[in-house]
């Protein structure tokens, strides 16, 4: 059945998802904050800034009018950066239809509140809408998705009917979705893997090779699972697509923004310069602060999250941090 889908956020992943929905036969609108961007997408069927070589479906429309994008949609897809979710969806909530579903594809933890994106969306939408909230996560580079490279993700919702509906809407011969009810696990995994990827990128930039990177990925996954279990998540989620799947992609993939940030930090470049040249959001930079604050709040041992915070926010040298980590007190691997 064809739905009316509005993708809120015209970054690379929002653009890629809008292409998926349009190719799946849904009436799709892409909301861009910039009016000129929206105009070029509608007229030329190409994004002027992201994925510029990708031909977008002729039926895909774009708008910079948020109220218009939301008004008639049966499904809204949240694809704005994590720091913009609260403000954007507070506006969305004012015109949200009583039967509209929301599928969030944003990964992050809000800095001040330490809320996951699921918690933020529940906070800014009416209680009657919560059963229609779902969350998409997993290893899915936007550039590969637009090339129809086989991709698998997971969709989480507390309502199995909502998860199943979103699953069938997005799935096709190159994009396969699984479902789960572990919203907290999927949300934490999707956010925290970006922080680990910055650390792994640092190790690569320092020239440490595969041994160090494999160790950091494994111990990073252990930290993610520890925090997840403390906050009520299913530990098996971290062994799935939203966990180890996305973690491997983000830590090793050449297209990973967070790995790139870490790699350049390891080479000695300054964060301000890296982010200026990146031209896109690397969610792990903001999430590193949230992750370390959340670890302290919950009393969970997360030395790699602390290390990422110190490199990004205290200006510590990555090489010094690595050897401090190696010099920590010896312990059993499964102490936690």
Straight-line distance from the first to the last Cα atom of the chain, in angstroms, rounded to the nearest whole number? 47
Catalytic residue list contains 193: yes
Note whether 202 and 177 are within 8 A (CB).
Answer: no
Distance between CA atoms of residues 92 and 107, nearest Å: 19
SS in 3 state form for 20-36?
A: HHHHCCCEEEEECCCHH
Distance between CA atoms of residues 74 and 296, nearest Å: 40
- In eight-state DSSP terms, residue 328 is S
Give CA separation, 314 vs 109, 175, 321, 324, in Å.
Answer: 20, 40, 11, 15
Q: Could you say which of 61, 193, 286, 289 is catalytic? A: 193
Q: Tokens for 8, please give them.
A: 């809120």
Note whether 16 and 7 are within 8 A (CB).
Answer: no
Distance between CA atoms of residues 329 and 331, nearest Å: 6
What are the catalytic residues?
A: 193
């Amino acid at each position: 059945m064809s739905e009316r889908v509005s993708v809120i956020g015209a970054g690379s992943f929002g653009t890629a998802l809008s292409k998926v929905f349009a190719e799946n036969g849904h009436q799709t609108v892409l909301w861009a904050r910039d009016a000129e961007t929206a105009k070029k997408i509608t007229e030329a069927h190409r994004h002027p800034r992201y994925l510029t070589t990708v031909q977008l479906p002729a039926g895909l429309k774009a708008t910079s009018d948020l109220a218009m994008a939301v008004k008639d949609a049966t499904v809204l897809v949240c694809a704005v950066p994590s720091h913009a979710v609260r403000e954007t969806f507070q506006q969305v909530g004012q015109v949200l239809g009583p039967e509209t579903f929301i599928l969030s594809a944003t990964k992050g933890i809000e800095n001040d509140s330490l809320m996951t994106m699921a918690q933020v969306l529940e906070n800014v939408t009416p209680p009657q809408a919560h059963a229609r909230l779902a969350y998409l996560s997993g290893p899915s580079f936007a550039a590969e998705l637009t090339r129809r490279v086989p991709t698998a993700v997971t969709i989480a919702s507390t309502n199995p009917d909502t998860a199943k509906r979103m699953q069938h809407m997005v799935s096709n011969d190159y994009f396969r979705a699984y479902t789960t009810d572990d919203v907290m696990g999927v949300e934490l995994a999707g956010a925290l893997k970006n922080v680990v990827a910055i650390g792994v990128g640092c190790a690569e930039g320092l020239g440490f090779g595969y041994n160090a990177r494999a160790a950091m990925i494994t111990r990073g996954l252990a930290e993610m699972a520890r925090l997840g279990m403390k906050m009520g998540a299913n530990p098996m989620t971290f062994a799935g697509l939203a966990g180890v799947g996305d973690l491997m992609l983000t830590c090793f993939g050449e297209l990973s923004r967070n790995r790139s940030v870490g790699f350049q930090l390891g080479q000695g470049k300054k964060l301000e310069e890296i982010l200026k040249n990146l031209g896109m959001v690397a969610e792990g930079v903001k999430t590193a602060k949230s992750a370390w604050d959340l670890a302290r709040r919950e009393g969970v041992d997360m030395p790699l999250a602390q290390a990422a915070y110190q490199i990004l926010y205290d200006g510590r040298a990555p090489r010094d941090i690595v050897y401090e980590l190696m010099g920590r007190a010896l312990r059993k691997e499964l102490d936690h």
